[in-house]
Amino acid sequence: MAVSRTQGAIFGTDWTRAELNQLAGLVGGTEDGVTDRNKLAVTYPVTGDEVGDIPLLTQADVEQAVERSRAAVSEWQDISPDERAEIFDRFAALVEQHRDELLDLIQLETGKARQHAVEEFIDVPMTASYYAEKGPELLADEKRAGAVPVISRAEVTYDPVGVVGIISPWNYPFNLSMTDLLPALMAGNGVVLKPDEKTPFVALRLVELLIEAGVPEDVCIVVTGDGPVVGSALVDAVDYITFTGSSETGRIVAEQAGRNLIDCSMELGGKNPMVVLDDADIDLAARGAVHGCFTNAGQLCLSMERIYAREDIFEEFLESFVAETEQLTLGGDFDYTADIGSLIDEGQLERVANHVEDARERGATVHTGGRKRPDIGPLFYEPTILTDVPDDSLPACEETFGPVVRVEPVSSTGDAIEAANDTDYGLNASVWTADRSRGHEIARQIESGTVCVNDAYAIGWAAVDAPMGGVGDSGIGRRHGPEGLKRYVEPKTIASSALGPMNAPPAVPDSLFARGMIRSTQLLRKLKKSARNLSVTLVRNN
């Protein structure tokens, strides 16, 4: 779709309903027939008004989309990784070229503040550029040690898994779809992407830009509809599944993938801790907490929901944190006037309100926030800081996924680490200290897939060369870095011998050959050990 700016723009954007519904025409790939399906309305969270609609696909529609991708992917695989890298560079440039319209679309679907839309936006060209640079090298054949030196050799090649299914969430529909989709494409796979039904249009526009950049049509297809129908059908049809969402749904997806004997990767829930040590810069930590707790109105898998501050600086930190939080402004304008945007829907609003009310009724103290703000919009909730939160209350036991955080004092660093690890989740954590070496040492003791020192989450997420993912109930597998691409390939070992089969030659008795093989392997093992010891000695002496 060539976006044309016309009359009838929606709210503060240049997008029109006709243009959004034109994007919906891309659902299901190039084959006609899905536009006549039942429709699901997409609303703007800030006002609750309908902005467009998408087709509700059936199981058969999803199966056909996967088969179209499977048929089209051979053309994509004929394009070398170096040529795919050039396409990725063009895609990154197109994303940047269409920045303002894409930022508007992110806000229109999610209701988030402009600055948080920008944070989501910049990840996509960064990820595209990273895999353009690293992808060809990661996919190149590798020589490995053969079974027997000189007379044998081994080589590893990397084949695409086939068609990858990606189920992306509503909270970061722009970057969380592309962060998983781009390495799958670079590896030579077809992709069928199911965005959340609340946020389909950014995914459709990005796939359109990928095609404009040079990805063949139908290699990457978007399917839309109800999660239990479309998501389940996708898991049954593809060769690999990537899912981002709740731990509860992740278990269902993983079980279904297991029955189909396909691999999967998942980023799931989190109850992320922030540890503020006694030597931390208090004002810096308070500003970091505001960013870590209230970005995207707290609807961020990596956000902080628990803060543990050393008791000797607890009051000072709490005072500074509350003061910083009370300066935040709420709003839904398509500019930079508001700090915090809307929640996504009524169910999320009620979850946040219920968590705060449950804590309050059980004796928690609300230092700031704790109120719905219907005067601003139907789904706004104030950033909220709690203390004295009972361990059996909802915000202590469950992921809130909203602008709510509990702050508690701890008597020692060891207690802080113990409290941080007192959870079934392990997605992200944050440590604040003036001594980065101390911070790194504490980070090693926190059970989490990512730990950021003197930052809440952004410094870890933006390190696209490093893997990101969770442990425990926070998921399996990793995105970003080499690991983010290698999950989408099947390693193949090709081994060869210069002397034929590794068994006794016709004139050599089996017993003699067996003794010779045993002695040869013993000698080889001793030689490798001696070489290893020599290497260690040289390193120590230098």
81-97 vs 175-186: helix crossing angle, rounded to 10: 160
- Is residue 222 classed as helix, strand or coil in its secondary structure? strand
Strand partners, 144: 154
Please state the φ and ψ torsions of residue 249, each to the nearest 5 degrees: -70, -35
123-139 vs 175-186: helix crossing angle, rounded to 10: 20
CB neighbour list of residue 322: distance below 8 Å, 6 or more residues apart: 367, 368, 385
* Helix, strand, coil distribution of the chain in percent, nearest 5: 45, 20, 35
Please state the φ and ψ torsions of residue 480, each to the nearest 5 degrees: 75, 160
Distance CA 419, CA 218 (A): 49
- 390 by Cβ neighbours in 10 Å (0-12 / 13-18 / 19+) ranks as middle
CB atoms within 10 A of CB 315: 11
Please state the φ and ψ torsions of residue 193, each to the nearest 5 degrees: -105, 125
CB neighbour list of residue 50: distance below 8 Å, 6 or more residues apart: 41, 42, 43, 44
Strand partners, 267: 244, 475
Strand partners, 429: 451
Active-site residue (options: 208, 267, 324, 399): 267
Using alpha carbons only, how large is the chain's radius of gyration in Å? 26
Which alpha helices (DSSP H) does 140-246 contain, by range? Answer: 175-186, 201-213, 232-237
Ranges assigned E (strand) in 104-237:
142-144, 152-160, 163-167, 190-194, 220-222
- Is residue 51 classed as helix, strand or coil in its secondary structure? strand
Q: Which pair of tokens denotes residue 344?
A: 């996504």
Distance CA 50, CA 66 (A): 30
Which alpha helices (DSSP H) does 223-372 contain, by range? Answer: 232-237, 247-259, 282-294, 314-326, 346-361
Active-site residue (options: 301, 324, 382, 399): 301
Is 301 an annotated catalytic residue? yes
Nearest to 43 by CA among 197, 183, 216: 197
Is 267 an annotated catalytic residue? yes
Nearest to 155 by CA among 509, 493, 536: 493
Distance CA 376, CA 332 (A): 8
Q: Which residues are catalytic?
A: 267, 301
